[in-house]
Structure 1
Amino acid sequence: MIALSLGEIAEIIGGTLHPASDHDPASIVSGVVDTDSRQMVAGGIFIAKPGEHTDGHRFIGAAIQGGAVLAIVEHLVEDEISQIVVADVIDALAALARAVVARVRAGGDLRVVGVTGSNGKTTTKNFLARILEDEGETIAPVASYNNEVGAPLTMLRITDTTRFLVCEFGASAPGEIARLAGLVHPDVVVELMVGLAHAGGFGGIEETARAKAELIDAASASGTAVLNMDDPRVAAMRAGAEARGLRVLGFGQGSADVRAADIDVTASGTSCTVFVAVPGHVDAQALPLRLQVLGAHHVNNALAAIAAAIALGVAPADAIARLETVRIAERWRMQPMGGDAVRIINDAYNASPDSMAAALRTLAQITGPGERTVAVLGAMSELGEAAGEEHDRIGLLAVRLNIQRIVVVGAEARRLFLAVVGEGSWDGEAVHLPDADAAFDYLKDELRPGDRVLVKSSNSAGLRFLGDRLGESFS
């Protein structure tokens, strides 16, 4: 974080300062800001966040041992550390992030990008960060830091020399994106897609679309909207963006400023031709792209990153060259594991109907003659009333793609298993197992050379760790 005095921080967040014996209001702090005492380093600022299962105030001592010199708290704690008492530490965190970004913007050339969408946020964020880091100091979220805590913590990692801040904005209810993006008013906003991820919290896909469009409304008045023209609900956001005076860049596989054709998916990566034509900005050109990341669905994420980079002044050829160095999108996202004999694709960090379908299609595409497809599937969470129907749909798709072994894990995914059986997969082709341990015991004996194995579920199902275990066992 940038250097601020204790007094300045207290004023920014509307809190009451209680300096430690060796501090006064003019004392300067500039360390890492975090809610996790284990992440503290010398000079750190600890956010004592109350939680569902524990309370951050209990860990102030551990934060001090890690090097924290300031704690933002909701009540005083006896430990010898400077403390600022506020009514709500999450509100205080947001206020601090807003002020820090505004100060760096006022004093330098910081550009802010906001990325949202039902799927692909983390991959696109990582793609774009890779492109931008060669242009200048770039800050992007760790993993999927995209909520009311993670997004401000990312913002607070900037320094006076940061050129690019890439923010990922997730939401499970209306108003959340507006609140988070409103802290920074991004110069470039990226709308990836509107799907059923978290649909239960929004009340349906149309409400989801309205929530995603909050990012358009929060953009800087002189900014750029990067829109997925393949998604009708995202393409419809163009009118709102133009009404606000935003420049619009479209991406996709149809008619768009940045589009892809000739997509080819193999076990070693995904290739296509990228066509770029932005009148008055980039001359028409066709460029080959060879991603090391698996899956056709990542092409649109790459196109979104290229379009956002163009909006920030990066040449398309440079953006593509940097994308080609990315080996995996993120841990537990289409992550190749195992060995030549048994290959594991661990994609179990999260799952929605769209991402589950895309992963199954990728499995089918990358499996060659004499090789066997194996799908290890868990539940998709936060789908609300659509959960049963969407699990049915994925079960039917797995059978219709001729996935040769389907291993369904967990009681919450049982309906997916029943759909598989109902569609005609039986006689051992599909099994239902109670948990990840049972699935591991089954798979370590079932898998054989030539198997190509997809592990896919929502985070809550815990199958990402099963994927890790299988990857290690068959490495």
Structure 2
Amino acid sequence: MIPVSCGDIAKAVGGELAGVDPAAVVDARVATDSREVVPGGLFVALPGERVDGHDFVPAVTEAGVTVSLTTRPIEGCPCVVVADTQTALGELARYVVAQLPDLTVIGLTGSQGKTSTKDLIAQLLTPYGATVAPVGSFNNEIGHPLTALQADRSTRFLVAEMGARHTGDINYLCRITPPKVGLVLNVGHSHIGEFGSQDAIAVAKGEMIENVVAGGTAVLNADDPRVAAMASRTQQSVRTFGEAPEADVRATGIKVDGEGRPSFTLHTDGQSFDVQLQLIGEHNVSNALAAATAALAVGLTPEQVANGLNTAARVSQARMEVTERADGVTVINDAYNANPDSVRAALKALVAIGRARGARTWAVLGEMLELGDTSSTEHDAVGRLAVRLDVNRLVAVGPGAKPIHLGASLEGSWGNESAYFDTIPEALELLRAELRGGDVVLVKSSKASNLRSLADALLEEGAS
């Protein structure tokens, strides 16, 4: 955060000062959680379902914040009073980013792979300049401005992951951080219940390309027709990635080793480099190509990109996070989120690892949320795919995931290989009884389905 006076903050967010010196300076963290405030920082009082941030303003004032953003004056507390604190947070971030003319913003979106790709881009860029990127999936109207506010005058790169649940969401986020490089990974089924169709999702994701600033670069997936078509939505330079022969940055000779890690030959600008990813799953090849293309667009050389990809590690938790228990059971925790495309990719990675090891494979799957009218069909298709891929055991958990079990049961010659349980404890009981050393277990669901707690339980039991 660059130092900003309270007077300038009030002007930037259209607020009024209450009980604060206009010359007082905010020069530390901006926080929406009262437990994270620091002296000299700023607190944003957001209303919540259970608590109201305004109730904590006296405490954060006592803790030393310079000022709080509030919707009403609070006696004895320095405040900038605004109509809506969430909107004001975005306006403050927009103001701060505008004060950093040397900052390069790399914006990215897509139906899946955003966080893994964001982590890759940040690792590629960090050796060549101070880089700010979101922690986890801070990609909405609150997390995005909080990330942007971490930038200061020493920051060279800001990697801005942007999610969308409605048309216009990415326009809003790009207004806060106008991208010099705008990247669209793919158009899948995530949030299709909100958007209604993949074509509608493409309209929303393409807002990223429309917001690339003059002289910038749009980075598009040549393997996804809906993404490739977005080239018509910008007048800026376009660079493509993928396995397609026409892609500017492409991969050939993809292989997956016994740990599920893909390798490939990277081709770009007439040069070729061998890449061995440390990430799990063949789907990460596309993420790596996207990250490479974005890094090349901001000035890295092909050799620097290839070297960076070879050493990049998994950063965010519960995304193809592989842990081997003391008893030899391997747990793949990919339970941060799920949609049909990411579940298919995870199942393929599971089978590749199992096949390479000669191991028995388990897929423990929960509900994929926000699929709307397609939910039952998509869950059924996942169950059938598990059979076709020859996953050894399938465990569906929770009422919303029951069609996974039904689809598997109706596909091919499966008998007792598939099981369904209403609750996580019931599923754990089966796993405790039947897992044996050498087995590989994938745990995947949407975040709200809470299968991450099941993965944590499996790992805790393995540790004990």
Q: How far apart, in 2, do the equivalents of 1:342 and 1:404 lie?
A: 15
Q: Is 2:100 the partner of 1:104?
A: yes
| 2-structure distance, mates of 1:419, 1:65 | 58
* Aligned counterpart, 2:263: 271
In structure 2, relative to structure 1, the CA distance for the partners of 1:371 and 1:147 (3 Å cut) is same
Note the alpha carbon deviations across 1:112-143, whole angstroms, 9 max, x for none.
Answer: 11000000111111100011111111000111
Q: How far apart are residue 227 of structure 1 and its match?
A: 0.5
Letter in 2 for 1:335: E
State the AA in 2 paired with 1:304: A
Report the Cα distance in structure 2 between the residues aligned to 1:425 and 1:450, rounded to whole angstroms: 25
Stretches of structure 1 lacking an aligned partner (at least 5 in a row)? 278-283
Match of 1:285 in 2: 271
Task: Compute the displacement of 1:339 (Å).
Answer: 2.9
Q: Are 1:247 and 2:243 matched, yes or no?
A: no
* Structure 2 residue matching 1:308: 3-state secondary structure: helix
CA–CA distance in 1 between the matches of 2:53 and 2:448?
Answer: 23
What stretches of structure 2 of length at least 5 have no aligned partner? none
Pick the aligned partner of 1:47 from 44, 48, 57. 44
The structure 2 residue matched to 1:367, chosen from 354, 358, 365, is 354
Per-residue deviation, 1:306: 0.6
1 CA distance for matches of 2:364 and 2:276?
A: 28
Shift of 1:62: 4.2
Partner of 2:298: 312
**Greater Cα offset, 136-145 or 433-442:** 433-442
Question: Does structure 2 retain, via aligned residues, the 8 Å contact 1:44–1:69?
Answer: yes
Rounded Cα–Cα distance in structure 1 between residues aligned with 2:109 and 2:67: 32
Q: Does 1:432 align with 2:432?
A: no
1:10 aligns with 2:10: yes
Does structure 2 conserve the Cα–Cα contact (< 8 Å) formed by 1:338 and 1:472?
no
Give the match for residue 396 of structure 1: 384
AA matched with 2:363: A
Q: 1:474 to 1:66 in 2, by over 3 A?
A: farther
Letter in 1 for 2:264: C
Residue identity in the other structure for 1:313: G
Give the TM-score, by structure 2 length.
Answer: 0.96
Alignment deviations for residues 281-311 of structure 1 (CA, whole Å, 9 cap, x no partner): xxx1110111110001001101111110000
Counterpart for residue 173 of structure 1: 166
> Identity across aligned pairs (percent)?
46
Tell me the residue number matched to 2:280: 294
> C-alpha offsets along residues 131-183 of structure 1, whole Å, 9 cap, x if unaligned?
11111110001110111111111111101111001101100111100111122
Of 235, 250, 258, which aligns to 2:249? 258
Give, in angstroms, the shift of residue 65 of structure 1.
Answer: 5.2
Query: In structure 2, do the counterparts of structure 1 residues 66 and 342 end up closer, same or farther at CA, with 3 Å as the change threshold?
Result: farther
CA RMSD of superposed structures (Å): 1.4
Aligned with residue 458 of structure 1, among 438, 441, 446: 446
Give the structure 1 partner of residue 143 of structure 2: 150
Shift of 1:427: 3.7
- 3-state secondary structure, aligned to 1:230: coil
In the other structure, the counterpart of 1:280 is none
In structure 1, C-alpha distance between the alignment counterparts of 2:279 and 2:376, rounded to whole Å: 31
Q: Which of residues 325, 338, 346 is equivalent to 1:351?
A: 338
Q: Please state how far the C-alpha of 1:263 moved relative to its aligned partner.
A: 1.1
The aligned counterpart of 1:84 is: 80
Residues 1:29 and 2:40 aligned together? no
2:157 aligns with one of 156, 164, 168: 164
Question: In the alignment, is the contact (CA less than 8 A) between 1:293 and 1:328 conserved in 2?
Answer: yes
| Residues in 1 aligned to 2:258 and 2:40: alpha-carbon distance in whole angstroms | 46
> How far 1:70 moved relative to its partner?
1.4
Partner of 1:327: 313
Q: Summarize the Cα distance change of 1:385–1:39 in structure 2 as closer, same or farther, 3 Å threshold.
A: same
Q: Partner of 2:311: helix, strand, or coil?
A: coil
1:450 aligns to what SS in structure 2? coil
2:120 maps to which residue? Answer: 127
SS at structure 2 position matched to 1:332: coil
For residues 322 and 258 of structure 2, the distance between their equivalents in structure 1, rounded to whole angstroms, comes to 9
Which amino acid is 1:10 matched to?
A: A
2:406 is equivalent to residue 418 of structure 1? yes
In the superposition, the TM-score normalised over structure 1's length comes to 0.94
**Contact 2:363–2:393, Cα closer than 8 Å, also in 1:** yes
Contact 1:38 1:66 in 2 (8 A): no
SS in 1 for 2:40: coil
Contact persistence 1:45–1:68 (CA under 8 A): yes
Output the CA distance in 1 between the equivalents of 2:462 and 2:412: 30
SS in 1 for 2:128: coil
Aligned partners of 1:408, 1:71: CA distance in 2, in Å?
46
Residues 40 and 326 (structure 1 numbering): CA distance in 2 closer, same or farther, change over 3 Å?
same
Does the Cα contact within 8 Å between 2:132 and 2:150 map onto a contact in 1? Answer: yes
- State the alpha-carbon separation in 1 of the partners of residues 429 and 63 from structure 2: 40
What is the letter of the counterpart of residue 343 of structure 1? T
How far apart, in 1, do the equivalents of 2:444 and 2:349 lie?
A: 12
Match of 1:281 in 2: none
Give the letter aligned to residue 27 of structure 1: A
Deviates more, 1:336-345 or 1:31-40: 336-345
Number of residue equivalences: 459
